[in-house]
Amino acid sequence: MEIQAKGMEEGEKSPECKDLLPSKTASTLCISSRSESIWNDNPRNKWDVYHKPVIVLSVGGAVFLFGMAITSLTCLTTANVTSMTKEAFKLCGPAFLSLGLMLVVCGLVWIPIIRKKLRQRQKYHFLQSIKSFFFNH
């Protein structure tokens, strides 16, 4: 994407830029979020790389625990609670359980994907350095 943007003349615009206002910074506005992310820069620490999946895991765990609490409340409540409140708990408990479990699974799957991309990036940079060494000397 960046090579294509560099190869274009100033008057030409990529398809992603059609809706953007013309300016000298149009090429920087059209760069995908992936190219501006950690994949091009050397990450400073592991938190920079893994903060999003960790947040998704944490929120998912909290929502799952909240769903467990609501579901257990419906089982433990006595007859003095109105039927409308008990029905609302019966509906919300499993909904929070499933939403929390979905977020936990997404976070757990996201971490190996990031690791694989980091390994691919390291291989790419290694191959580029070997290529530049042989072709520039």
Are residues 107 and 56 in contact, defined by beta-carbon separation less than 8 angstroms?
Answer: yes
Counted domains in the chain:
2
**Do both 26 and 76 map to the same domain?**
no
> Rounded to an integer, what distance in angstroms lies between the CA atom of residue 37 and that of residue 47?
14
**Do both 31 and 51 map to the same domain?**
no
**Do both 2 and 50 map to the same domain?**
no
- pLDDT mean by block of 10 residues, the chain; 137 residues: 48 51 49 50 76 95 95 76 76 93 96 91 82 77
- By residue count, the chain amounts to 137
**Do both 16 and 72 map to the same domain?**
no
**Do both 32 and 53 map to the same domain?**
no
**Do both 62 and 89 map to the same domain?**
yes
pLDDT over 70, % of the chain: 64
Query: What local confidence, expressed as pLDDT, does residue 33 receive?
Result: 46
**Do both 24 and 81 map to the same domain?**
no
93-96 contacts, C-beta under 8 A, 24 or more apart: 93/67, 93/68, 94/67, 95/67, 96/63, 96/64, 96/66, 96/67, 96/70
> Rounded to an integer, what distance in angstroms lies between the CA atom of residue 66 and that of residue 71?
9
Q: What is the pTM of this model?
A: 0.59
| Range(s) of the domain holding residue 32 | 1-37
